[in-house]
Amino acid sequence: MNKIYSPSKESWDKLLKRPTQTISDIEDTVNRVFSEVKDGGDSVLKKYTVTFDGVVLDSLLVSEQEIKDAAGSVSQKLQQAIQLAKSNIEKFHRAQKTQKVSVTTAPGVECWQEKRPIQKVGLYIPGGTAPLFSTILMLAVPANLAGCKEIVLCTPPDKQGNVNPAILYTAGLCGVTKILKVGGIQAIAGMTFGTESVPRVYKIFGPGNQYVTVAKQIATKHGVAIDMPAGPSELLVFADDSANPAFVASDLLSQAEHGTDSQVLLVSTSKEMINQVETELENQLKELPRKDIAEMAIENSKSIYIEDGQTAVELINAYGPEHYIICAKDEDYFIDNVANAGSVFVGNYTPESAGDYASGTNHTLPTNGYAKQYSGVNLDSFMKSMTFQKISPEGILNIGEAIELMAEAEGLQAHKNAVTLRLKELKNVI
């Protein structure tokens, strides 16, 4: 990791820049694929599956038999682990349900808010070198709790045309209604426009590489909502002398192994801690099967020495990490002052891996600084808030004149007339 000591605030923008391509670098590619999928449907999806996944598919749809067979390929212990994680995720997300909000804003004026599920949602599940079946739990569980009627899952196949059994088992367990063997830009395009096999959805969820992230942003131009611009994974750890350097290094590597474009940052008020973590990184890297990937990510990453906790908090909020681990003597200070983070992990025994899998919180989180304005996925992500109102004759008499005056002041006579006619009728009755 690159070491930086006491950087000036003027250098923070450059220092905290993510190692990602800009949208303009890949937007042309995404637009071209979108255009082809819109016009060509399944045939284009299959073409790109050959190009990017190296396999020719007769059908994009995963069959019921494939889903049943998958359970036999997943060990009993892994099935139990998935079920434990599902239970905890359900508990946490079920607790997020809110009741109808009803208020009498004026005598005779009743206003209320109710939530309704988004009827059709699409889940993108990365495959490739790390098939993220855990992401299915994070998306399909709250989608089912919300009451979404159609839950479509897209994930890339392997070179034999198969989907990882753990993905299929988890999807079946979580009530996914349709699974398709399609990944990358073309999957997002398929769910945006709809094809012969892929249903068009109203909102797309799930992480992915930079191409998938841009594809999701392009989808919003075609009337489809997205959860957030979730791109390459990132982690920031604050560690003072109370931290365990081996634990800190393991957390940094847990994110670095996601992909070569991942970024991890260590912020510390202790130079000794930075040096100890660096030694641990070197030792632990040797044992990792994904060593080459993690090493490349570490090259894009930084250890930053900051002289005091207040300045450290300012720098961390300026970065807005996707994942933020706090290992500090005065952890309450850092908790109370965090303003921008996707998900926060507190204490030496709270690894980020817990949130990725089984603690119950959601791991689909805003990256690339979007934690400054986006929330991570939660139950409400799969719902819409709808407002209702019912006004009695007494109510329109109470607020009618105010509406008339405001409408007239804005030059909207028809708005005023809609109230005036009702007031005249009521006055005649009275």
Q: What is the band of 277 on the pLDDT scale with cuts at 50, 70, 90? A: very high
Does 5 belong to an annotated binding site? Answer: no
CATH among 3.10.290.10, 3.30.420.10, 3.40.50.1980, 3.40.630.30 for 23-229: 3.40.50.1980
Strand residue runs (E) in 193-244 = 203-205, 225-226, 234-239
Does 42 belong to an annotated binding site? Answer: no
Weakest mean pLDDT among 50-54, 78-82, 143-147, 327-331: 50-54
The Cα–Cα gap between 312 and 296 comes to 26
In this prediction the pTM is 0.92
User: What integer is the mean pLDDT of 226-251?
Assistant: 93
- Is there a contact between 256 and 301 (Cβ–Cβ < 8 Å)? yes
Q: What is the band of 234 on the pLDDT scale with cuts at 50, 70, 90? A: very high
How far, CA to CA in Å, does 181 sit from each of 43, 61, 197, 216, 299? 13, 6, 10, 18, 33
Residue 60 has pLDDT above 70, yes or no: yes
User: What integer is the mean pLDDT of 288-300?
Assistant: 90
Does 233 belong to an annotated binding site? Answer: yes
Q: Is 140 or 427 the better-scoring residue by pLDDT?
A: 140
pLDDT tens string 3-54: 999 999 999 999 999 876 566 778 999 999 999 999 999 999 999 999 999 9
Q: Which of 322, 352, 363, 404 is catalytic?
A: 322
From the list 277, 275, 263, 393, the residue with the least C-alpha distance to 323 is 263
| Helix or strand holding residue 86 (H, E) | helix 76-94
Q: Is 429 or 115 the better-scoring residue by pLDDT?
A: 115
Does 255 belong to an annotated binding site? Answer: yes
The Cα–Cα gap between 211 and 194 comes to 19
Does 87 belong to an annotated binding site? Answer: no
From the list 208, 292, 275, 193, the residue with the least C-alpha distance to 239 is 275
Domain 392-429 architecture: Up-down Bundle (1.20)
Matching residue, tokens 């919180």: 361
pLDDT of residue 19: 73
Does 31 belong to an annotated binding site? Answer: no
Rama region for 305: left / alpha / beta (φ>0; ψ in -120 to 50; rest): beta
User: What integer is the mean pLDDT of 233-260?
Assistant: 95
The Cα–Cα gap between 176 and 162 comes to 17
pLDDT of residue 129: 64
Residue 83 has pLDDT above 80, yes or no: yes
User: What integer is the mean pLDDT of 83-96?
Assistant: 98
Q: What is the band of 312 on the pLDDT scale with cuts at 50, 70, 90? A: very high
**In 181-244, where does DSSP find H-type helix?**
184-193, 210-219
Does 348 belong to an annotated binding site? Answer: no
Does 363 belong to an annotated binding site? Answer: no
CATH among 2.60.40.10, 3.10.20.30, 3.90.10.10, 3.40.50.1980 for 2-19+232-360: 3.40.50.1980
Q: Which of 93, 323, 352, 363 is catalytic?
A: 323
Told to judge if 93 belongs to the known catalytic residues of this protein, a careful annotator would answer: no
Average pLDDT, the chain: 95
Q: Where do the structural domains in the chain lie, given as residue ranges? A: 2-19+232-360, 23-229, 392-429
pLDDT of residue 22: 62
C-alpha of 76 from chain center: 29
The Cα–Cα gap between 302 and 239 comes to 14
pLDDT tens string 334-371: 999 999 999 999 999 999 999 999 999 999 999 889 99
Q: Is 22 or 281 the better-scoring residue by pLDDT?
A: 281
The Cα–Cα gap between 1 and 295 comes to 9
Residue 258 has pLDDT above 90, yes or no: no
- Paired strand residues for 237: 266, 325
Told to judge if 331 belongs to the known catalytic residues of this protein, a careful annotator would answer: no
Weakest mean pLDDT among 18-22, 256-260, 274-278, 285-289: 18-22
- Is there a contact between 125 and 191 (Cβ–Cβ < 8 Å)? no
Residue 137 has pLDDT above 80, yes or no: yes
- The two domains 23-229 and 392-429 share their CATH topology (first three levels equal): no
